[in-house]
Chain A
Amino acid sequence: ETGVTQTPRHLVMGMTNKKSLKCEQHLGHNAMYWYKQSAKKPLELMFVYNFKEQTENNSVPSRFSPECPNSSHLFLHLHTLQPEDSALYLCASSGWTGGSDEAFFGQGTRLTVV
């Protein structure tokens, strides 16, 4: 149990579908992150939220839309995705008190776009 829970664990969606990924943490952390992990590519940081405010967007296409209603919850809304968006999407959280705070990761959502 890592303290960060992601749902669903697996998702198959068509290119015209709309779906959402959910992440929840009860570790008292202020920062939450979305990462994309594709085969044979480095882990890619997508979005960073600090105290519910987005502080980083790494040039992510608009078909990915994050939402952070509070410090414990983070969503990633998906629409009109492409097959190359198939990947493992990882959520993480951390404190924001300094660089020594490690990030805690969820188990990820394995997304397949067909």
Chain B
Amino acid sequence: GDSVTQMEGPVTLSEEAFLTINCTYTATGYPSLFWYVQYPGEGLQLLLKATKADDKGSNKGFEATYRKETTSFHLEKGSVQVSDSAVYFCALRGGRGGTASKLTFGTGTRLQVTL
């Protein structure tokens, strides 16, 4: 079945440092890939997505590129802020047109940014 593997956290960075959170996946067919973020006490919010190979999703300074050859979707940001402290989830959604539309999540990576 489908699966998502994320790097273990927590990740602790100083403000303005470069961020990478690794994500690799296993899926049949051509899944869509997502990064969600969960701030303390909140539900999950979509951060960015990519729907086909070589697509780059981006939002709020975060980027991730859909790499089919390495089955990866690593999250990056050039300069993190304290307000980026949250838990980040990589996810995939397989299926074609109305089937197998459930999201499969990674375990989440907690990011802590300090001054």
Specify which chain A residues have a CB less than 8 angstroms from the CB of B89 in the assembled complex.
Answer: 43
A98: which of B43, B44, B98 is its contact (CB, 8 Å)?
Answer: B98
- How many residues on the B side are at the interface (Cβ–Cβ under 8 A)? 28
- Interface residues in A9-46 by Cβ distance below 8 A to B read 31, 33, 41-43, 45
- CA of A9 to CA of B36, assembled, Å: 20
Q: Nearest chain-A residue to B94 (Cβ)?
A: A99
- Contact of A101 with B44 at beta-carbon distance under 8 Å, contacts A42-B106, A43-B89, A43-B108 already known: no
- A interface bracket (residues with beta carbon within 8 Å of B): 20 to 34
Q: Is the beta-carbon distance between B46 and A104 smaller than 8 angstroms?
A: yes
Q: Nearest chain-A residue to B36 (Cβ)?
A: A105
Judged by a CB distance under 8 angstroms, whether B51 is at the interface is yes
In whole Å, how far is B108's beta carbon from the nearest beta carbon of chain A? 7
Specify which chain A residues have a CB less than 8 angstroms from the CB of B32 in the assembled complex.
Answer: 99-100
- Interface residues in B27-45 by Cβ distance below 8 A to A read 30-32, 34, 36, 41-45
Chain A: residues with CB nearer than 8 A to chain B? 2, 4, 6, 31, 33, 41-43, 45, 48, 50, 56, 90, 92, 94, 96-108
Chain B: residues with CB nearer than 8 A to chain A? 30-32, 34, 36, 41-46, 49, 51, 89, 93-98, 100-103, 105-108
